Homo-oligomer: A and B are copies of this chain.
């Protein structure tokens, strides 16, 4: 019988494919309830081979998380670049818009939520801190905003995660509308 894809490729290319699959699967189920086999199936790879590409499950999760923050940083940077003038508030606003666009598919968003919950694993906590540091420093340096304004930027990002996680724009209610007001939430696509 013809085996699977059977196409030989470099292991580096495979690693990239597996990381993409890991982002999608870990975003769905979180760290603990997502089996390696799910990631392997999505990458069209045998579960065993995943362990040849990554030394263990945490390592794969961290790789996915690193890539996630890389994409976020890239989006923020791109957003800052398209701001009309040099007003810090405007620049942060554009960055927020770019972030909202990026997480429209919810994968990168849910991965961050699940990562926060899995932060009792030291390597995961380190990865989250690395990513958050990069994002925070980037928001500050590219916008030139005051510290408290950057802090508020991150805080509203967290609120955005909460809103999206709970589908507050669907589950209407006065309180839900209050929390979602003015927050750009993902259109479905």
Contact = CB atoms under 8 A, between A and B. Distances in A.
Contacts of A175: 132-133, 136-137, 140
A85 interface: no
A166 B132 contact: yes
A32 B51 CA distance: 22
A44 interface: no
Given A155-B156, A155-B159, A178-B140, A129 B32 contact: no
Interface string A110-130: 000110111110000100110
A41 B162 CA distance: 32
* Interface-central residue, A28, A32, A168, A175, by most chain B CB under 10 Å: A175
A9 interface: no
Question: In the complex this chain forms, how many copies of it are found?
Answer: 2
A33 to B, nearest CB: 4
A39 to B, nearest CB: 16
Contacts of A33: 32
Contact of A150 (B29, B32, B168, B178): B178
B32 A166 contact: no
Interface string A138-161: 001000000110111011101101
B166 A159 contact: no
Nearest to A158: B158
Closest 7 CB pairs of A and B: A117-B117, A158-B158, A155-B159, A32-B32, A136-B175, A32-B33, A155-B155
Given A30-B32, A116-B166, A158-B161, 7 more contacts: A32-B33, A114-B117, A116-B162, A132-B175, A137-B175, A140-B175, A158-B158
